[in-house]
Amino acid sequence: MSEVTASRSKSQQAYHWIKQRIASQEFSPGYRLVLGTIAGELDMSVVPVREAIRQLEAEGLVMFERNVGARVSMVDDTAYRFSMQALSLLEGAATALSARALTADDVRRARSVNDLMVETLEHFDPRAFTALNQEFHAILFEKCANPRMLELVQAEWARLGHLRDSTFSFVPGRAAESVREHENILVLIENGAPLAEIEKVSRRHRSATLDAYMIHEHPDEVLGLPAF
């Protein structure tokens, strides 16, 4: 009703409102999303709220059961691992598909982000580190020539974002290794290495993060991952 909000439809308002609560952990996994309650809080009817929730369902952020209602998706770390593996695949390919289109300036920007990450290592803040990590990779794959694949990568990032804040808070030692691998990737891109090589290294980079997590948290399980 106010000024700026009027530009978005109510269902979009509801959508963003809920999504933000989920991201900020105010609605944690398992939280019950009651239509009427949310509608009341946002001062609108249930219809737009319903629509918003169905959108969130399509993105996998909430689960919906007929005649029962919606709740924020549970996130056993099984789901986390699976998404990480998918991301490793998609991001590796997207980075390769983007590599040739990156300018010297893009590489410079990425490197400066990585330098920031190095500095952060001193007084380690997993959350900040993860944010920088995402920024770094986003620079590398943003020029991906295949927009569909870009969509998929970003959807997967979003999914992970709400699944877990940061792998690095679980495996601190991985961070230092990670920034070194970043530099390797940058060098490959600068030198115009074969795209297959860039893809392979990028993929391994993320797989390694997942592996580190697995070894740290579930030392006895092995995920059937091809030796990418």
Q: Which residues bind a copy of itself (CB under 8 A)?
A: 9, 47, 50-51, 54-55, 58-59, 66, 79, 82-83, 85-86, 89-90, 93, 96-97, 100-101, 145-149, 152, 194-196, 198-199, 223-228
CB of 49 to a copy of itself, least distance (A): 12
Out of 35, 121, 128, 223, point to the residue binding DNA (CB under 7 A).
35
Q: Which does 170 bind (CB under 5 to 8 A by kind): a copy of itself, DNA, none?
A: none
- Token output for 187: 């060098």
CA pair distance 137, 178, nearest whole angstrom: 12
Out of 2, 3, 4, 68, point to the residue binding DNA (CB under 7 A).
68
Task: Identify which range of 64-72, 88-96, 199-207, 217-225 contacts DNA by CB under 7 A.
Answer: 64-72
Q: Is the dihedral of CA 39, 43, 48, 52 positive or negative?
A: negative
DSSP-assigned letters across all residues of 73-135: PP--HHHHHHHHHHHHHHHHHHHHHHHTT--HHHHHHHHHHHHHHHHHTTT--HHHHHHHHHH
Task: Identify which range of 33-41, 98-106, 115-123, 177-185 contacts DNA by CB under 7 A.
Answer: 33-41
Out of 5, 20, 25, 37, point to the residue binding DNA (CB under 7 A).
37
User: Judged by CB under 7 A, does residue 44 bind DNA?
Assistant: yes
CA pair distance 76, 57, nearest whole angstrom: 17
CA pair distance 195, 212, nearest whole angstrom: 26
Q: Which does 36 bind (CB under 5 to 8 A by kind): a copy of itself, DNA, none?
A: DNA
CA pair distance 204, 207, nearest whole angstrom: 5
CB of 27 to DNA, least distance (A): 13
Instruction: Please list every residue from 69 through 88 that binds DNA, using CB under 7 A.
Output: 69-70
| 42 contact partners, CB below 8 Å, separation of at least 6 | 10, 13, 14, 17, 49
